[in-house]
Structure 1
Amino acid sequence: MKQKVSIVKIGGNLIENETILDEFISNFAELEGPKVLIHGGGKLATQLAGKLSIPTQMIEGRRITDAETLKVIIMAYGGLASKTIVAKLQGKNCNAIGLSGADLNLIRSVKRPVKEHDFGFVGDVEEVNTGALTLLLENDITPVCCAITHNKNGQLFNTNADTIASEIARALSNHYETHLYYCFEKRGVLRDLKDEDSVIEQINAASYKQLLGEGIIADGMLPKLHNCFNALKENVSYVYIGSIDMISNRQTKKTTITL
């Protein structure tokens, strides 16, 4: 029987709220067994870019990462966000290490091809270094991975954190029973965005199509669900979407994704 590993992705909005971040850190540190944390930091990057007078360019909710914006991403994700999270975890006796995709050759990617738009220095994941991850986990070290990857030729890329979480879960599925959690500011996928209690507690491939047709799932939830189903198709055992409470022992609603 495979050992359980928890892959937890925390949204950038939660990182910005120190009270919520502290509560999340406590919940995450108490998770039993090996675990991996993935984070972005989009709001932090936008704030830092503003202070440096670097314009933020978005297309369809996705950031255009030019050379100057990439520098901001590296500072925000790989610096402030990463080290803040690691320090807080150490304060909870969770021995963690902050990593980008370049560290230990953890995540290799390629520049996203130009189709309708050129998103700049944005990477699409090609390979996860499973050996490096399992080495850390087997030695009770918790990887904290920011949303930066590399091409193994010296170039760093801004990369979607939801995708990184899905790819890491997929890579570890051959060695562990993988449980993938997407933590964000809602309690799960909502049927009515104005009603916090309207959590859809289970979504499968068939109901997903129906929800799409009804317009209930749209915008930023679309790529998140896409990553969820991709993970399940690649032998990830369980996928959940919800608030930070779902990784604690407290009873809470959440959305469970199944095929």
Structure 2
Amino acid sequence: MKTKLTVVKIGGNVIDDAETLKHVLQEFSQLDSPKVLIHGGGKIASELSLKMGLQPKMVDGRRITDADTLKVVTMTYGGLVNKNIVAQLQAFRCNAIGLTGADANVIPAQKRVTKEIDYGYVGDFEVDNIDVERLSFFIDGGLTPIFCALTHDQQGNLLNTNADTLASGIATTLAKFYETKLIYCFEKPGVLLDADDDNTLIRELGYLHYQQLKDDGIIHTGMIPKLDNAFAARRHGIEVGIKHALDLNKPAGTILL
């Protein structure tokens, strides 16, 4: 029988609000099973970019990452946000280790190449290329991996990688060794029919229903990559939930069918 494991992704306003983040990390530290945390930090990176005179550029919720922006996201994701999270988890007696995909060569990737848009130093990875044995070595050794949204191209370059995609990929590969659950946490109670009305929560969402909502423009922008990645993990038999970060340990939010 496989050991249970929980993969949690936090993003959005959760990371920006110190009290909310502290509460979520305390809840995360109390999870009984082995666990992995993946985080973004996009809003902080955007604020820092503006202070440095760099105008953030986004396409469909994905950041265009030129050389200067890569420096900003590396400082923000891999430094400020990641190490702050690790330090707070240590205070909650959760022995965390902060990682990028470059550390221990866990997540090699390749620079995204498209004809339509030059995303710059943005990376895509194959789930089968994640070193699940190395990752499980950390976990089985009693450490809790905390991944920021950076991978590498094995040529000396870090790559900005979508954190929702990273969470889905990590959960999928760990499902080979563990009974894996994936939880996406952000500032909303789950998937909503009306993004401005928390009372329109969809408690159960199937893929065909999602496609219809997307076609109708009800689900749009940043929720699309989140749900695309969530359903990608669900197709591998992984239990997937999307909920408010403050409800991490509660039976709440949207469950994917």
TM over 0.5: yes
Give the share of equivalent positions with the same residue, in percent.
48
Change (3 A) 1:12 1:215: closer
**Alpha-carbon separation, structure 1, partners of 2:208 and 2:18:** 38
- Mapped contact 2:109–2:123 kept (Cα < 8 A): yes
Indicate which of 138, 142, 148 corresponds to 1:136. Answer: 138
Q: Judge which range, 77-86 or 38-47, deviates more.
A: 38-47
- Structure 1 unmatched ranges of 5 or more: none
Equivalent residue runs for 1:1-259 within 5 Å: 1-126=1-126, 127-235=129-237, 237-248=238-249, 250-251=250-251, 253-258=252-257
The runs of at least 4 consecutive aligned structure 1 residues that moved more than 6 Å come to none
1:12–1:78 CA distance, 2 compared to 1 (3 A): farther
CA distance in 1, matches of 2:209, 2:59: 29
C-alpha distance in 2 between matches for 1:37 and 1:184: 13
Provide the C-alpha distance between the structure 1 equivalents of 2:29 and 2:221, rounded to a whole number of angstroms: 31
**Aligned to 1:135, what secondary structure does the other structure show?**
helix
Aligned to 1:50, the other structure's residue is in SS state helix
How big is the shift at 1:229? Answer: 1.2
Contact 2:230–2:240 under 8 Å retained in 1: yes
| Corresponding letter in the other structure for 2:58 | M
SS in 1 for 2:199: coil
Give how far 1:242 is off: 0.8
Provide the aligned C-alpha RMSD in A. Answer: 1.2
Q: Distance in 2 between matches of 1:98 and 1:17?
A: 20
The TM-score, its normalising length taken from structure 1, stands at 0.95
Q: 2:100, 2:150 within 8 Å by CA — same for their partners in 1?
A: yes
What is the alpha-carbon distance in structure 2 between the residues aligned to residue 210 and residue 60 of structure 1?
19
Q: Could you tell me whether the CA contact under 8 Å between 2:101 and 2:147 is conserved in 1?
A: yes
SS where residue 242 of structure 1 aligns? Answer: strand
TM-score by length of 2: 0.96
